[in-house]
Amino acid sequence: MSRVQPARRVAADVLAAVRSSDAYANLLLPARIRDARLSGADAGFATELVYGTLRMQGYYDRVLELAARRPAAKIDAPVLDVLRLGAHQLLSLRTAPHAVIDESVELVRRARKASAAGFVNGVLRTLTREQPETWRERALAGLAGHARLAVEFSHPEWVVDALAEALALEGAGAQLAELLAADNAAPQVAFAALPGLAEPVALEHNGRYLPGRLSPLALGSPGGDPAAHAEVAAGAVRVQDEGSQLAALALTRVRPVAAGERWLDVCAGPGGKAAVLAAEAALAGARLVANEVVPARAGLVRNALAPFGDGADAPEVVVGDGRRFADAERLATGRERFDRILLDAPCTGLGALRRRPEARWRKSPDDLAALTALQAELLDAAVAALAPGGVLAYVTCSPHPDETRQQVARALERHPALRPLDTPGVVETIARAPLALPDAPSAQLWPHRHGTDAMFIQLLTTLEA
């Protein structure tokens, strides 16, 4: 029988899968917790171990390099997983050293790296010989500016640079450290009560949900497994960040809906925003087409839209490259024009680092050129498919200027008939509480200001025919 506590064993397995198989911690961890039958404190401990280790991975690598006297890149990856996990417990959780060291040695043996057991023992014992504050001083010694912030808050330096630039565009450069700290804080679980299927106020009154903060659809979580709620199991309530809710509602509530409108979600997977669009469309007599290029993600969209049935007026899920909506033959029929289009574009995901901490280590500046080229092509397709006078919502879960303001500016240059709408005004009108958005055509939400993902929203329209 393993001498490793189940929570640590689950955490080590998830960290290994994130590294070796590009698994997503937010998807894999709940399944592993259920498989191991963890509950209560054990489930919470496993969650803290995984997310805390992934968030602070860059900082821990810096400290481990000092303790091991070798670069992190020179340490076998499975061994480094165990060392990072141990460092999180010793430096941040301040767990009893003997438990951390003994079980870390066992974990490295389970990873078939028994020859490294002595090395792991020695490095972790070295960490215990000085206080965490001392290791922090040593890790930051000789660093300044963004290089220091990158280590201190465990972000790649290029990400720090991009976030600093985005804040500077709002005259808020002094908030950089606050934003980086917010990226490392566990986010509050938020739910969306889908219009027509669930009523937020009624659900708040039953005591199983807390009030939401910003979105009129939002509910808060009192804790526990979100999937345990009957409304979530039925699809009437979804786990969804309030920033995502506001992005979808900005499109549906920018102006009154005319019966018979046709709506398009260009990149609908995994289906969260599509579910909000479908609910709003059903109430207003509009029809939604949800497109997704990846078949497996299209399956997730179908699941998200299942509560709306499969009748003639139900939302339609189609599979294909979103760029095909610019095809001249399709547009010539007139049936491929849409009155409202959501383009939640593929992006670096730098706005969701609280929820997907591993994303900061998977992306690089080299990814940006391909992503921005794809975003531009999808934007062009969405503009081509937009009916005269229709509304397009360009949304990214990234505040990177190349993916947000600059992308929109280039689209406006390419399409003279395109016009920006007062997006902050629309979002402020929808929100339950003031957002204090800067005076700009676009709306940028922030974790440190709004408690949401860093969602960028720009509403655009075309001249009437």
* Span between the terminal Cα atoms of the chain, in Å: 73
CATH class of 240-462: alpha beta
In eight-state DSSP terms, residue 23 is -
Beta strands in 254-301 (DSSP E): 262-265, 287-292
Compute the residue count for the chain: 465
The pLDDT value given to residue 226:
87
393-405 pLDDT tens trace = 999 999 999 999 9
40-62 pLDDT tens trace = 899 999 999 999 999 999 999 99
CA neighbours closer than 13 Å in the CB half-sphere of residue 291 = 22
Q: Where exactly are the structural domains of the chain? A: 6-141, 146-183, 190-210+213-223+230-237, 240-462
State the amino acid at position 306 in one-letter form. Answer: A
pLDDT category of residue 224 using cuts at 50, 70 and 90 = confident
| 6-141 against 240-462: fold identical | no
Q: What does the alpha-carbon distance between residue 351 and residue 117 come to, in Å, rounded to a whole number?
A: 38
Query: Over 70: is that where the pLDDT of 2 sits?
Result: no
Q: And the tokens for 288?
A: 């939604």
Q: Please, what's the b/e burial string for 386-422 (b: 16 or more CB within 10 A of its CB; e: otherwise)?
A: bbeebbbbbbbbbbbbbbbbebbeebbeebeebebbb
Average pLDDT over the chain, rounded to whole? 95
Query: Over 50: is that where the pLDDT of 4 sits?
Result: yes
Q: What does the alpha-carbon distance between residue 451 and residue 20 come to, in Å, rounded to a whole number?
A: 31
The pLDDT value given to residue 246:
98
Q: Which helix (H) or strand (E) holds 225?
A: none
CATH class of 6-141: mainly alpha
Q: And the tokens for 76?
A: 């076998």
- The rounded percent of the chain whose pLDDT value lies above 90 is 92
Instruction: Compute the average pLDDT of residues 146-168.
Output: 98
Q: Which range, of 3-17, 65-79, 299-313, 317-331, averages the lowest pLDDT? A: 317-331
How many other C-beta atoms lie within 10 A of the C-beta of residue 90?
Answer: 23
Give the active site residues: 397
How many other C-beta atoms lie within 10 A of the C-beta of residue 127?
Answer: 24
Cα dihedral value 294, 296, 302, 305, nearest 10 = -80
Torsion sign, CA atoms 354, 360, 363, 365: positive
Distance of CA 226 to the CA centre of its chain: 17
Contact 249, 215 (CB under 8 A): yes
Query: Over 90: is that where the pLDDT of 335 sits?
Result: no
446-455 pLDDT tens trace = 999 999 999 9
The pLDDT value given to residue 333:
64
pLDDT category of residue 1 using cuts at 50, 70 and 90 = very low
Contact 19, 77 (CB under 8 A): yes
Q: What does the alpha-carbon distance between residue 179 and residue 20 come to, in Å, rounded to a whole number?
A: 29
Instruction: Compute the average pLDDT of residues 121-150.
Output: 98
Query: Over 60: is that where the pLDDT of 320 sits?
Result: yes
Query: Over 50: is that where the pLDDT of 419 sits?
Result: yes
